[in-house]
Structure 1
Amino acid sequence: MESAIDQHLKCPRTLSRRVDDDYQPPFPMWVARADASLQQVVMAYLGIQFREEQREAALKAMRDIVASFGLADGPQQHDLTHHTDNQGYENFIVVGYWRDSAAYCRWLRSPEVDGWWSSEDRLGEGLGYFREIIAPRAEQFETLYGFRDDLPGVGGVMDGISGDIEEHGYWGSMRDRFPVSQTDRMRPSGELRVVSGDPAKGGRVLVQGHDNIALIRSGQDWAEAGDEERALYFDEMLPPLLQGMDFLRDEGQALGCYSNRFVRNIDLDGNLLDIAYDIGHWRSLDRLERWAESHPTHLRIFTTFFRVAAGLQKLRLYHEVSVSDARSQMFEYINCHPRTGMLRDAQPMQA
Structure 2
Amino acid sequence: MRNVLISGAGVAGGTLAWFLARDGWTVTVVERAVGSRTGGQAVDVRGVALDVVDRMGLGERLRAERTRMRGMSVVDGAGQELYRSEEFTHSSGRLDSTDFELLRDDAVAILHEATADRVEYVFGDSVTALTEDAHGVRVEFEHGGFRTFDLVVGADGPHSAVRRLAFGPEERFSTHLGQYLAIFPAPNFLGLEDWQLWVRHEETGGAVYPVRDNTELRVTLGFGSEPLPPMSVAEQKRLVAEQLAGVGWEMPKLLAAMAEAEVFYFDAMAQIHLDRWSAGRVVLVGDAGYCASALSGQGTSLALAGAYVLAQELGRAEHTDAFAAYERRMRPFVALNQALATENPTGGPSEESLARAKNALTLG
TM-score tier (shorter): under 0.3
**More RCO (CA 8 Å, sep 6+):** 1
Using the size of structure 2 for normalisation, the TM-score is: 0.25
Using the size of structure 1 for normalisation, the TM-score is: 0.25
